[in-house]
Amino acid sequence: MTLAISFPTARTADPSESTVPTVVGARLTVPLLDGRQVGYANLDHAASAPCLDAVRDAVDELLPWYASVHRGAGFASQVCTGVYAQARDTLRRFVGARATDAVVFTRNTTDSLNLLARALPKGTSVVLFDTEHHAALLPWRGPRVHRVKTPADAAATIAALDAALSTCPVGPRLVVLTGASNVTGEVWPIAELAKVARRHGARVVLDAAQLAPHRPVDIRALDVDYVVLSGHKLYAPYGAGALIGRSDWLQAADPYLVGGGATRQVVDWGDHLGVSWTAVPERHEAGSPNVVGVHALAVACETLSQSWDDVAAHERTLLRRVRQGLAGIPGLRVLELFGPEQDRVGVVSFSVDGLDAGLTAAALSAEHGIGVRDGAFCAHIATRRLLDRSGADQQRAVRASLGLGSTAEHVDRLVAALRSLAADGPAFTYAQVDGRWVPADDERPLPPFLREVS
């Protein structure tokens, strides 16, 4: 039986003016220390994006049908199996994959890259830049891993990669590239770097976690071999991600996890078990599939694909507004890998002279209702190197990241709040508890579903 599952139409606040998809929580209000309630300015999309309304609606529509995938004869099971299979086709289209490419569903980008690292042929040389996110930096271990120090401009990265690949021993080679930096938002010259990799016979895996929510990604146009991404960055926070790309290395590798779904047959041979494994993609998807998460991810990809022009225009306007606003604040230093002219997505990280990053983030939240991230953003080498380069007096930064839930009012509120903090500091008293800054006297009520834990 062939089942076709339709996607909900993306809703907008005012269809006559915009087709930017809307998100759950757009009207969320939060309490401030002074007793007021304000609309929540979520400027932390790079960590976890809110859920699209279309995704929430699609999940609600699926839940009554929830059943096993691949293993049930019931009609609901057949529906869920169809949903799961359809999601693979959607993800393949979303990244412009080849018909022969595998689509393996995972938990997130970190899971996907660890899976690929486990599947590399013996003796594979891996080349990557040292400013990668930890998800792309840490899975590769051993003497054949070449970490290249990221140059100060985009053009120099091409020469640096060429030089690194020239030193690799004979054998399989893999280049690990970031699509967009989660620290600065800068978009890397992916196609140009892939061309260098091809000259050296290397494959390329693209970490698209930060790029895919903002721009179309095309495997064939970029000439990369693998793309990895996360649903929780793509407005689908239901625990699914994907590894999409060439199937030969994945097919030759032992399963990433072993268990039901990865096995074709198990027999008792007395002193040990005989096992034959299924083919890719099921080979690396042991256990009951997360059909709800996979469907959510597919709907998010489909929704974004229908709206790219408006999504990009929305982000460009807000990014220009926030960068212009931050540029006028004395003592605020924006972090950049390659410089202000580099193409970038809606991510800006910065430090404020004399003001601890954690305290800045805490005050933005408690006094202004603004959610940002502080720290080194799971990219410690990149963040600390950029802070040192900028002349900052600290080892942590603040990051504001834009997305579909962001508005001009959010940006203006951030700029005004930072101007006030840079000039006068926080208006309330804060203390460090377990390494985090928190208001010293915080009587704000928690939502009723959150029980206090002693």
Q: Which residues are catalytic?
A: 378
Tokens of 439: 């208001």
Identify residue 331 by its one-letter amino acid code.
G
Helix 291-305 to helix 53-62 angle (10° resolution) is: 140
Q: In what order do the strands lie in the sheet with 332-334?
A: 332-334, 347-352, 397-401, 373-375
Residues 6+ apart with CB under 8 A from 313: none
∠ CA 105-106-108 to the nearest 5 degrees? 125
**Among 25, 41, 35, which residue's Cα sits nearest to residue 318?**
41
**Among 317, 318, 354, 323, which residue's Cα sits nearest to residue 336?**
323
Residues 6+ apart with CB under 8 A from 323: 334, 348
- With tokens 């930060």, the residue in question is 210
Tokens of 206: 């693209």
Beta bridge partners of 344: 186
Instruction: Report the SS3 class of residue 49.
Output: coil
Our measurement of the distance from residue 434's CA atom to the centroid of its chain's CA atoms, rounded to an integer in Å, reads 27
150 contacts 129 by C-beta, under 8 angstroms: yes
What DSSP line would sit under 165-188, residue for residue?
HHTPPSS-EEEEEESB-TTT-BBP
Between CA 168 and CA 147 the distance in angstroms is: 12
